[in-house]
Amino acid sequence: MRNYDFISKYDALLVPDIVALLSQIHEFKGEQAKLMGTKEDTLTQLVEIAKIQSTEASNKIEGIYTSDERLKKIVREKTMPKTRGEKEIAGYRDVLATIHESHDYIPLRPSVILQLHRDLYKYSGLSIGGHYKNSDNIIEEMDADGNKAVRFQPVPAWEASEATDRLCAAYDEALRDPALDPLLLMPMFILDFLCIHPFNDGNGRMSRLLTLLLLYRAGYAVGRYISIERLIETSKETYYEVLQESSDRWHEEANDYAPFARYMLGVVAAAYREFNDRAQLLTDPELSKPDRVREVIKGTLGKITKAEIMIKCPDVAQITVQRALNELVKSGQVIKLGGGRYTAYTWNRERD
């Protein structure tokens, strides 16, 4: 059985680029704290968007979909889930809300992980929720020709409970050492959790929910405003590559956490950068709503759709966004691309 020991493996991760990411995130955390202290009411407009994006993206990674309209209604609790996929989406919504609202009172314990997993499946009618796996599972990958191959063999079912107990105990022990940064312990824990793969289903979604919980409990609240799950979903090819790289020789306790840690810290840093960009747009008193539409397009390399603009300007009405777009196109500052549902816009950089 594997020995979980974060303390002895920690120093190997203190390489220049990872340390630089840690420093960046520490600085971002301080900047966010200042904004939250003075502009919290304004920033709450980002919270609902992040909830919708997180619920959609984390389920999308696992091939669970519904329509955009149904997704928003489910997340806002305006309708009951109908399909199996929608029931799992509703479960994710509830666990996400629990973590957002009560993270200070949710310690990382095996019993807590089981309760969160139970709630993930509470609408599904399936008996697997809140129980460790009862049969061995494998992690497969499929090549371009549709051929499946085993990528990783997790711990056997009989070992899942004890492995999770030992993992949580090792993490708790590492947290008590003031010399160890919880931000760096987070990806180490998540990688081990995924390698244990303690459940019959829902391991990936649980790993992302636990990522948010660990960030919150370490004092990093960016996931409240920016969807960590969306950033992972949009880079999922890289996510799977680094997961495979860092899980190699895991059973022999010779794996390298660095690729996965580097990736996850990069995601957190990207979330903070996006938060800063959006917060500046929302809180700058000198920018009118049309000015903010203009700045969003100007700050985007390549094209952007009206829907994407509205996500970045959550308090700007659709009619105001459209009016601003019409004026910007008419003045030549913005170029309109395509038409109909494929319409997009780009800043006319030839004029700069």
Residue 138 has pLDDT above 70, yes or no: yes
**How many Å apart are CA 322 and CA 222, to the nearest integer?**
30
Of 228, 257, 282, the last residue of a domain is 282
Q: Say whether both 149 and 172 belong to one domain.
A: yes
At 38 the pLDDT is 63
Q: Say whether both 244 and 130 belong to one domain.
A: yes
Of 282, 312, 343, the last residue of a domain is 282
Mean pLDDT of 280-296: 85
> Phi and psi (nearest 5°) for 196?
-70, -40
> Phi and psi (nearest 5°) for 336?
-90, 130
Domain-located, residue 205: yes
Q: Which two tokens stand for residue 292?
A: 């903010």
Q: Residue type at 337?
A: L
**How many Å apart are CA 81 and CA 71, to the nearest integer?**
9
Q: Are 220 and 214 in contact (CB under 8 A)?
A: no
Please give the model's pTM, rounded to 2 decimal places: 0.88
Q: Say whether both 193 and 235 belong to one domain.
A: yes
Q: Checking phi first, is residue 51 left (phi over 0); if not, alpha (psi -120 to 50) or beta?
A: alpha
Question: What is the CATH classification number for the domain harbouring 33?
Answer: 1.10.3290.10
> Phi and psi (nearest 5°) for 29?
-60, -40
At 144 the pLDDT is 67
Domain-located, residue 72: yes
At 312 the pLDDT is 83
Give pLDDT tens digits for 238-283.
999 999 999 999 999 999 999 999 999 999 999 999 998 888 887 7
pLDDT band at 319 (very low <50, low <70, confident <90, very high): very high
**List of residues 6+ apart from 234 with CB closer than 8 A:** 57
